[in-house]
Amino acid sequence: MRMLAYIALAGATILAVDPATAQRHDPRFPYCIERFRSGRSSYVDCRFTSLGQCRMTASGLRARCFRNPFFRGSR
């Protein structure tokens, strides 16, 4: 009976784990957006050439824009 409880606990744990999503800090773009999901972690996507472009995308969303820490272009 105890073994059945351990198997059920292991199964519930496996189902509860959320798959990880890759964070993209593309070094070609100077600005990133961080989008917040309800009940989950945030998602970062760096594909914006200007802060204004990022802010327009973030408008109305639970998100914030920031400078890409891995940007390798001219500053």
Three-class secondary structure assignment of the chain: CHHHHHHHHHHHHHHHCCCCCCCECCCCCCEEEEECCCCCCCEEEEEECCHHHHHHHHCCCCEEEEECCCCCCCC
The count of domains in the chain is: 1
Prediction pTM value: 0.62
In a domain, 7, yes or no: no
- Name the residue range of residue 72's domain: 21-75
Q: Is pLDDT larger for residue 75 or for residue 24? A: 24
pLDDT interval class at 12 (50, 70, 90): low
pLDDT of residue 62: 92
Is residue 19 scored above 80 in pLDDT?
Answer: no
State which of 6-15, 36-45, 56-65 shows the largest mean pLDDT: 56-65
Cα separation, 12 vs 30, whole angstroms: 41
In a domain, 16, yes or no: no
Is residue 17 scored above 60 in pLDDT?
Answer: no
